[in-house]
Amino acid sequence: MRTLIVLPLLLAASPLAAQGRLLQVASSSGGVVLSLDSAAIARTGDSTFVVDAVYQFPADSAQNVAADRQVETQEMDCGRSRVRGRVTAFYAGETVPVPVSQGEAQPAEWQPVGDDELPIFQAICGFLLGSFATSLPVTLENASADRQALLVNGDLVAHTLERTYPRELALQGIGGTVLVRLQITAEGEVVPGTPRVLWATRAEFAAPALAMAARMRFRPARKDGHDAAVWATMPLSFGMRQPRPPQQPGSGPARPR
């Protein structure tokens, strides 16, 4: 278990922090800094949130020589001390995170927080409940909908990704994947300004994938018999023979916005 020291609200020294996205929450005695990605926070209930907890390693850290940070994406129930859908991954790189390794996703059902993780959980929840996160509108994760949002213009997506394939990578036969997070309205359109790249296997793929995300159209998700707005996380793949993107985008918890 990490020994945590709760710190005042600061911007961590990193490219993401320079963009105003990383909000520092705590640090460990070994120099690991815990921050929340402000762009990834979503409110799913009165005291439940989807978050990216970012652990930044000191430069001389031996914890993972290939990575400079660990990201845990999960849904947290601050009122009942439980979590679900956690995904842990290690990343390296500057403005576009490149995945180094990824652990197995935890169950999509709610799980109680263990005693060894309680200090970190309480530090994150304490920050969330005292921040702008409580004023966010309540939104649904796609995986939690009764009927998930369904991509309906997959042919256009595949054709456009093929046309915007970075030329140098195409000539070398290098393919890749970009994981995009976005919000879909109850009418099946992407909410302007919400698409963002979570990671890309090559930084060059990020810009064309992000541009394509805004043009996606979906059959709306449904919840309790009504069309519903949802957050979704989905992969876009670049290859010499572009596969049709998944017709049913997944969601983080339930994503590890």
**Dist. CA 211–CA 215, nearest whole Å:** 7
pLDDT in tens, 213-226: 989 999 999 999 99
Domains observed in the chain: 4-138 (2.40.128), 141-238 (3.30.2420)
Consecutive H or E run containing 207: helix 206-213
* Amino acid in the structure at residue 48: T
Q: What is the pTM of this model?
A: 0.75
pLDDT in tens, 97-152: 888 887 777 778 899 999 999 999 999 999 999 999 999 999 999 988 999 999 99
**Dist. CA 62–CA 85, nearest whole Å:** 28
Please tell me what DSSP assigns to residue 250. B
pLDDT in tens, 188-210: 999 999 998 989 999 999 999 99
Q: Which residues fall within 8 angstroms of residue 153, CB to CB, at 6 or more apart?
A: 215, 216, 217
Highest mean pLDDT among 4-13, 64-73, 155-164: 155-164
* Amino acid in the structure at residue 197: V
